[in-house]
Amino acid sequence: MRIRERQRAMGNLVTMDDLTNDDIVSILDDAERLVPVAKGDILLPLLQGKVLANMFFENSTRTRMSFETAMKRLGGSVLNFSSVGTSVSKGETLYDTMQMIDGYADIAAIRHPRQGAAQYSADAVDIPILNAGDGAGNHPTQTMLDLFTIRQSHGKMDGLNVVLVGDLRYGRTVHSLSHALVRFGASLTLVSPSSLKMPAEIVSDLKSHGADVTETESLDGQISDADVIYMTRIQKERFPDEEEYSKVAGIYRIEAASLVGAKKGMIIMHPLPRVDEIAPSVDSSEFAKYFQQAFNGVPTRMALLCRSLGVEVPKKVS
Amino acid sequence: MSEMRRVTAIRNGTVVDHIPSGYAMQVIRILRINTERATPVSLVMNVPSDKLGRKDVLKIEDRELDQEDLDRLALIAPAASIAIIRNHAVAEKMRVELGDDLVNIAKCSFPNCITKNDREPLPQRMKVVSREPLEVRCYYCGRGQEIDELIGNII
């Protein structure tokens, strides 16, 4: 069995390549049925007795908390790990830390500042690994909740015009999302300053799928044709120096007035946190979906936890 | 004059034929041949070849390449043919074959890759994404490397 096939069988989710399009649709269907459980309206202890290790070697708010809520709403429990003040600060290798967790938990969500850490962990241990963000690499559980949000708003994922804006170089959410979108026939417009362009390998992969990909530095004129505008934060922490950051900080900003002429049904998404790339005046518009998107992390991660642990989500949740 | 006779036949060692023209020096590096040692190495560059148009040939005395060497060689000379010479005669013929998964052949060059911590015990791994043109990426972090960079990162 090839590595990726084995990984699919084992329930790891390191990159979107670990899921087929059919897998994606089936997980989103599961997530949809789990929404009332995610809201706490229905009690469904599918994962009772199971333990999730939240292995966060880098800070996180939404991802860590939504994993925790997802596991707890399904009756499971959570070990929260952060690298500060633990054996990692004493110089422990990722391999050794993960060996420990292999004995304590049934599944692990890992976030790490180094790229490739999720794949490395998946190779180091037997329990399923969910990549919760590795450096500037991938963030597939975010992609799943992004796809959930897109499908929820548009009723489909196929053939949409999606504009990805901001830090496309270091932004792992857009790396995973763009891979998934082109598999569903999306046309992509990549808007970024030249210093933060999408890595060449990714653009080449996207084009090899036959995707219609346009790269530009300006957001002007991109809004009227868009079905989805996906804004990202210029990530200060990923810049080698302050001067480089200040050259591009605040370069793209959407305000309520920018949305005149937008298509009906167009949605604005953002993985959050935002700085000033979306003005608060947009929040009350029909286009703003980013807070809904943040909630969608819960049912989507519930569905992913069930899948990786081999637990079937009932066809009727009541 | 046959290109194989441009340099003297060797008694014992390895002949690496059908190296892409201009790449013989990289082959010397990739095979970690210590050019300061006394082992004679003969190098023929840019000779006509039916198969490649032009090619380089390398004759390494008193060293027989092994499978690990061939795995490395496959990165820059995928069409190379290898002859092990013993007592002036061809004792064995081998072909290089580029696998899908290159384990402990080259290091990832991306500064933020998880494998940059030398204390991490899992092996360096590269996956071959495309053979023509050659495209190799780190199995863990997914970053690609240009061939010249890759040669510099051979383990």
Task: Tell me which residue of A200, A176, A71 sits closest to A118, measured CA to CA.
Answer: A176
Q: Name the minimum distance, in Å, from the CA of B141 to any CA of chain A.
A: 4
- Residue A318 in any domain: the answer is no
pLDDT in tens, A189-216: 999 999 899 998 899 989 988 899 999 9
Distance CA B43, CA B20 (A): 13
Residues A18 and A130 in one domain: yes
Q: What CATH number should be reported for the domain holding residue A195?
A: 3.40.50.1370
Would the CB atoms of B112 and A120 count as touching at under 8 Å?
Answer: no
Are residues B51 and B36 part of one domain? yes
Q: What is the span of the domain harbouring residue B114? A: 101-152
Token duo for residue A170: 């270091």
Same domain, A93 and A204: no
One-letter amino acid of B127: K
Backbone phi, then psi, for A230, in 5-degree steps? -110, 105
Examine the domain organization and report whether B10 and B58 are in the same domain: yes
In this structure, the number of other CB atoms found within 10 A of the CB of residue A20 comes to 11
| Token pair belonging to A311 | 């637990």
Q: Quick check: B28 contacting A, CB < 8 Å?
A: no
B16 and B82 assigned to the same domain: yes
The reply to whether B105 and B75 lie within a common domain is no
A38: part of which helix (H) or strand (E)? helix A21-38
Q: Of A20, A54, A21, A18, nearest to A301 (Cα)?
A: A54
Q: Which stretches of chain B drop beneath a pLDDT of 50?
A: 1, 3
Quote the domain boundaries for residue A204. 140-293
Claim to verify: residue B55 and residue B131 sit in the same structural domain: no
Same domain, A151 and A126: no
Whether residue B84 sits in one domain with residue B136: no
Peptide bond into B111 cis (omega under 30): no
DSSP line for A14-34 = SSGGGS-HHHHHHHHHHHHHH
Same domain, B76 and B20: yes
Both structure tokens of A300 = 């989507």
Same domain, B111 and B76: no
Would you call B138 an interface residue with chain A, using a CB distance cutoff of 8 Å? Answer: yes
How many domains does one find in chain A? Answer: 2
Which chain A residue has the Cα nearest residue B110? A115
Does any CB of chain A come closer than 8 Å to the CB of residue B79? no
Looking up tokens 């074959």 gives B97
- Which residues does residue A55 pair with via DSSP β-bridges, in sequence order? A81, A110
Angle at which helices A21-38 and A290-308 cross, to 10°: 110
Task: Enter the pTM of the model.
Answer: 0.88
> For residue A120, what is the nearest residue in chain B, using CA coordinates?
B140
Give how many domains chain B has, as a whole number: 2
Res A1 pLDDT > 50: no
Instruction: Tell me which residue in B110, B117, B144 faces A115 most closely, judged by beta carbons.
Output: B110
| A170 within some domain | yes
Q: What is the pLDDT of residue B1?
A: 46
Residues A127 and A151 in one domain: no
Residues of B in contact with A123 (CB under 8 A): 122
Give the model confidence (pLDDT) of A282-315 as tens digits. 999 999 999 999 999 999 999 999 999 999 999 9
Average pLDDT score, chain A = 93
Same-domain pairing of B130 and B88: no
